[in-house]
């Protein structure tokens, strides 16, 4: 049997949500698949697994921003809806790295790049990001890189 990639898992989960009449999950998965298809159309090619995971992370990040906006607007209903959407999308991301695992990877990337100051942070991030897709956010990684380089 061929292992399912994330995009196929999203499509299967959408079908399940439609069968079970789970409106929130159906809407969330449709938006995620739509974002993936839009990138594929824009780039004129099918996206690989890492690109799909990056798109899902972007969707989750946008929902976190929407939660912050909803809190400022005193809209607990929107906060709850966005949290449910985040939970539905996070199911498709791989298990996140622990803090210790991230620090070890950052130290390895610093050693590989030969970076010695914050001015060289870009070199370290360039090495790290392809290794982390779906398992850590750029914000998490940049904080650790800044701590270790300063």
- pLDDT one-digit tens code per residue, 36-68: 999 999 999 988 888 888 899 899 999 999 999
Output the CATH code of domain 99-149: 1.10.10.410
56 burial (CB, 10 Å; 0-12 / 13-18 / 19+) is buried
**What are the structure tokens assigned to 27, written together?**
């809407």
The Cβ-side half-sphere exposure at 16, using a 13 Å CA radius, reads: 9
Residues 6+ apart with CB under 8 A from 116: 149
Mean pLDDT of 101-124: 87
Phi, psi of 20 (to 5 degrees): -90, 5
pTM check: above 0.85: no
**What are the structure tokens assigned to 94, written together?**
């791989």
How far CA 49 is from CA of 7, 36, 73, in Å, comes to: 8, 11, 36
The Cβ-side half-sphere exposure at 51, using a 13 Å CA radius, reads: 12
pLDDT score for 35: 94
Residues of the chain with CATH 1.10.10.410: 99-149
Mean pLDDT of 17-41: 95
Query: What whole-number distance in Å separates Cα of residue 81 and Cα of residue 121?
Result: 36
Query: What whole-number distance in Å separates Cα of residue 149 and Cα of residue 141?
Result: 12
Query: What whole-number distance in Å separates Cα of residue 150 and Cα of residue 146?
Result: 6
Fold of 6-90: Hypothetical Protein Yqey; Chain: A; domain1 (1.10.1510)
Mean pLDDT of 130-141: 80
Query: What whole-number distance in Å separates Cα of residue 54 and Cα of residue 117?
Result: 28
Residues of the chain with CATH 1.10.1510.10: 6-90
């Amino acid at each position: 049997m061929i292992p399912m990639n994330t995009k196929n898992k999203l499509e299967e989960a959408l079908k399940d949500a439609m069968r079970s009449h789970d409106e929130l999950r159906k809407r969330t998965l449709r938006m995620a698949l739509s974002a993936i298809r839009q990138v594929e159309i824009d780039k004129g090619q099918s996206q690989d697994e890492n690109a799909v995971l990056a798109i899902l992370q972007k969707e989750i990040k946008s929902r976190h921003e929407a939660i912050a906006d909803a809190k400022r607007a005193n809209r607990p209903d929107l906060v709850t809806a966005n949290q449910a959407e985040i939970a539905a999308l996070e199911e498709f991301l791989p298990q996140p790295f622990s803090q210790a695992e991230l620090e070890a990877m950052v130290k390895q990337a610093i050693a590989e790049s030969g970076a010695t100051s914050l001015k060289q942070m870009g070199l370290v991030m360039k090495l790290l990001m392809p290794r982390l897709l779906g398992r850590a956010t750029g914000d998490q990684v940049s904080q650790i890189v800044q701590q270790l380089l300063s």
